[in-house]
Structure 1
């Protein structure tokens, strides 16, 4: 039964990361067309960096020697992207610089929509895995209760 609990925890961590990834993509899309005045700070696109939990070989080996299953799941960190600002020629804009360019965040809307779609699909896959594990646990309890 412990393995099923761990599989549920892994699916839950996956859902948490994909929710964060969708929120970050939505924030980036919202800031894609926000202009900044010359010299004013510009919204920077964000990226979600993921790392498996317990990825260190020594930790996994120590757990295996102790008869424990390897740790699982994933964690995420949000970092600012170093994408350059997007400059658009809009000489009539009050936010234009001396050359007539307005700066926007360096967000590629197409990439962000793709990231959002992938996050939703990955979230759905984690929900499916979570529900399958939960169904197995319920079935095991039903079988155990019949004896």
Structure 2
């Protein structure tokens, strides 16, 4: 039964990592119009245990995107410099929506893996009861 337990654990780690990723994507979308906001970037890393690589994943360190901020022309803004420009954010909504869809689909794939494992373990128990 440990193989079923490992499968549940793998699927759960994937769901947790994708949920956290989706949280950062939603923060980026929410702050797309915030002046001076830098997009948050995430990477996945493998979980290591005493046995070595487990196949589980978790979200690594969150970094800020250091690409240039958009220059927005609005001479009436209190944030504007002498030329009428201020720093916007470096969030691209198209990229963030694509990242959100990817995270959602990966989450759904992990749910299906979890459900398939549950169905197989249930079928095995039914066979063993006979």
TM-score (norm 2): 0.90
Match of 2:80 in 1: 96
What's the Cα RMSD here?
A: 1.8
Q: Are residue 112 (structure 1) and residue 106 (structure 2) matched?
A: no
SS at 1:71 equivalent: strand
Query: Paired residue for 1:130, among 109, 114, 122?
Result: 114
Cα deviation, 1:88-120, whole Å, max 9, x if unaligned, reads 111122221111112112111111111001000
Structure 1 position 4 matched with structure 2 position 7: no
Q: Is the 8 A contact 1:6 1:72 kept in 2?
A: no
Number of positions where the alignment pairs a residue of Structure 1 with one of Structure 2:
129
Q: Which is further off, 45-54 or 115-124?
A: 45-54
SS at match of 2:113: helix
SS at match of 1:73: strand
Match of residue 15 from structure 1: 15
- Partner SS for 2:54: coil
Unaligned runs of at least 5 residues, structure 1: 36-41, 61-69
Q: Are 2:126 and 1:142 aligned?
A: yes
Residues 41, 63 of structure 2: 8 Å contact kept: yes
Aligned residue in 1 for 2:70: 86
User: Is it true that 1:74 corresponds to 2:72 in the alignment?
Assistant: no
Contact conserved, 2:46 with 2:54, CA < 8 A, in 1? no
Superposition TM-score, scaled by structure 1 size: 0.80
Which position in structure 1 is the counterpart of 2:38? Answer: 44
Which ranges in structure 2 are unaligned for 5 or more consecutive residues? Answer: none
Which has the greater radius of gyration? 1
